[in-house]
Structure 1
Amino acid sequence: MVEIIKSFPLLVNKKGEDLIWNLLQFLIKKKSTYKTIIISGDPRGGTTWLSDIVSEINNSSLIWEPLMLGYNNEFKRIDFDYRQYIPENKNWEEAKLLFRKTFEGKSLSSNLCNRNTFNELIKADRIIVKFCRANQLLPWLRKNFQFEYDPIYIVRHPCAVVASQLRQGGWDRISPDFKIPDCKFQEFYSTHSKFLQNINSKEKRLAAYWCLVNRIPLSHPKNNKDWITITYEDLLLDGENQLSRIEKRWNLKLPASSYEKLNKVSTTTLKSSPINELEKTDQLNQWKNYLSEKQIQDILSVLKYFNINVYDYDSMPKVRFL
C-alpha cells in the first residue's frame, strides 16, 4: 500500500502524502479499542519478531511504532517525549485521545502502516500495535483502556539490547552524556538526576534508558497480571510453551503460522548479524563476544543502581514468568 500511495502524482512532498492518508482514513471503519493487541518492549528487544508472530492472527492489522515521534506528528504536537512516562493515576486527556485514535485505526501514515496492504486495513477487525517506547506506559494504558487480550510485554537482557543497538548503527551519533529532557512528569528522570548526570558512555546511557522504562512494569505489583510478561530468552529457547501461555491468557488458539515464525529471524535483523547462523543458545551469549568486559560491567552497574535483579552476568534471566 505504501508503494501505491507514493506513486500518486500529488505526492511531491510530505504534506501531499499526509493528505492522502487523511482521506483514506474515512474509508477504513473504526476499530474496537477493546480488541486492540499491544506488544511492548525495547528497541532491539524482540518486538518485531513477536509482532511478526502475533500478526498472523486472522483479520488483524499491524500499526508500527506510533510513539516514534519522527513518524507521528500528532504525539509530537502535545509535547510527548520519546520515552514519555505517565503515572497510572494521572490524567492526560490529550494523550488518551491520541492513543484511542491509534487503537481505533484512525491515525494512519506510510510509516505506521508499512506492514499492511490497504485491503488488510479495510478488512481488519483488530489492530495490533507494536511499541518499543511504551514499557513505562503499560500501567497507565491498562488503567485507561479495557482490552479483550492482555498486552504482551517482552523484556530482553540489557547487555543484549545495548549490544544490538550499538551494532545496528541507529545509535551511532548519540552523545555519551545523559541529558534529562524537558517533559511532563519529569520526576521520572529527576528522581535519578544525580546518577544520570554522571553517565559518561554510550552503553551506560543506553542501559539507563533500559532501566528507566523497564523498572516500571517489572516492579509493578500487577506485573504479569495486567499484561503478559515474556522474556526474549524464553521465547527463543522455549517458544512453543511461551505461545501456549499467550493462548491460555487470551483464550485464543494462535494459527500454525505463528508457531512457524518462532524459528524465523525478525524482519529487522541485520543480514550481517551472526544470529542468522548461530544456534539458539549461542545467540543468547553473543553480546559477551561483542561487548568488552568493561562495557558489560558498566551496564550491570547501572542495573545495580536501579535495583533491577532480573538479569546479571548470566545470559538467562534470574526470574521465570509463568
Structure 2
Amino acid sequence: MIRSPFQARIIKSIRATLLLGWLKSHFDVPIIFLIRHPCAVVSSQARLGWFMNAQEFLEDSLLVEDYLQPYVNQIAHLQGAWAHRAAFWAIENLVGMQLAQQFDIPIVFYEHLVCSPQETLQSLLHQLGYTWHEHRWRHVQHRLLRPASPKHLAAWRNTLDPQTIQTILEVVHTLGVSVYDEDPLPSPRMLH
C-alpha cells in the first residue's frame, strides 16, 4: 500500500457549480466556491476556442424556476459569442454564489489568492475549521512553481478591446452578478 504524505486533496471542477448543493449534501468533504473575474474567464475561453450557448440553461425548468426566472428574457435574446460566454459565466456564478450562501460554502476570490495568498488561505482554513500552521505555508511556498503576480490579473485588458469588456460586464450585471467591474479586483462594496 502506498501512503501519501498528504491528508487532503483538491479537486477542481469548473462545471460543478450548479451541483454545489448536491455535492455538499452527498459528500462529507470541505467545498469552496472559487470565483474569478468574468473578463479573465471569458478571454481564456475565447483563446481556447470555446463557444458557450447560455440559452441551453433555459431548457432546465427547475434551474429557471429556482434562479433564472427574472433573467429569461435577457438570456433568450443574447446575441454574439462574447455575450453568450459572459452570460454562461454569470449564470454559473449567480447560482454558485447563492448555493454557497445557502449551504455555508466559503466563497474565495481568485484575485485575493493572488494578491494576498497567505491571508486568504488563513481565512479559508479558519472557515473550514482547520488550524493554520506556518510551517505548512512555507511548504506551500516552496512548492509553488512560480509565485503568482498581481500584474497578470489584468492581462485580459491586453486581449479584449474596450467594447468587448463593456459587453461582458453589461451582460454579467444584467444577469445579477455585480461583484466585478472594470477593475481586475472584486468590488469591495459588493462583497458584504
Letter in 2 for 1:244: Q
Who is 2:36 aligned against?
A: 156
Residue type of the partner of 1:195? Q
What's 2:91 paired with?
212
Q: CA deviation at 1:311?
A: 0.6
Are 1:247 and 2:125 counterparts?
yes
Confirm or deny that 1:312 pairs with 2:192: no
Task: Tell me by how many angstroms 1:221 deviates.
Answer: 7.5
How many Å separate the matches in 1 of 2:111 and 2:126? Answer: 20
Provide closer, same or farther for how the CA distance between residues 185 and 316 of structure 1 changes in structure 2, counting only shifts above 3 A.
Answer: same
Matched, 1:222 2:101: yes
Equivalent residue for 1:285? 154
AA matched with 2:115: L
**What residue in structure 2 maps to residue 185 of structure 1?**
62
Task: Give 1:233's match in structure 2, choosing from 102, 111, 115.
Answer: 111
Determine the structure 2 residue equivalent to 1:58: 5
> Structure 2: where are the runs of 5+ without partners?
none
1:293-314 Cα offsets, whole Å, 9 max, x none, are 1111111111221121211111
Relative distance call for 1:312 and 1:142 in structure 2 (3 A) is same
- Structure 1 segments, 4+ long, off by >6 Å, are none
1:146 pairs, out of 28, 45, 57, with: 28
The one-letter code of the counterpart of 2:56 is I
Quote the Cα distance in structure 2 between the aligned partners of 1:190 and 1:318.
23
- Equivalent in 281, 296, 311 of residue 165 of structure 2: 296
SS in 2 for 1:180: helix
Residues 128 and 160 of structure 1: CA distance in aligned 2, closer, same or farther (over 3 Å) = closer
Deviations 1:68-92 (A, max 9, x none): xxxxxxxxxxxxxxxxxxxxxxxxx
Which one of the candidate residues 15, 30, 35 is aligned to 1:133?
A: 15
Shift of residue 220, structure 1, vs aligned partner: 4.8
CA 1:184–1:129 in structure 2 vs 1: closer, same or farther (change >3 Å)? farther
Between Structure 1 and Structure 2, the one with more strand by share is 1
Q: Secondary structure at the match of 1:154?
A: strand
Report what 2:139 is aligned to. Answer: 257
From the two aligned structures, give the one with the greater helix fraction: 2
| Identical columns (%) | 26
Question: What amino acid sits opposite 1:215 in the alignment?
Answer: L
Equivalent pair of 1:240/1:259 in contact (CA under 8 Å): no
TM-score under structure 2 length normalisation: 0.77
Q: TM-score scaled to structure 1, two decimals?
A: 0.49
Alpha-carbon distance in structure 1 between the residues aligned to 2:83 and 2:55: 13
Structure 1: stretches of 5+ with no match in the other structure: 1-26, 29-56, 61-125, 266-278
**AA of the residue aligned to 1:185:** L
Larger Rg: 1
The number of residue pairs the alignment matches comes to 183
- Check the 8 A contact 1:152/1:229 in 2, yes or no: yes
TM-align CA RMSD? 3.2
Are residues 307 and 321 of structure 1, via their aligned partners in 2, closer, same or farther at CA, if it must alter by over 3 Å? closer
> What residue in structure 2 maps to residue 198 of structure 1?
77
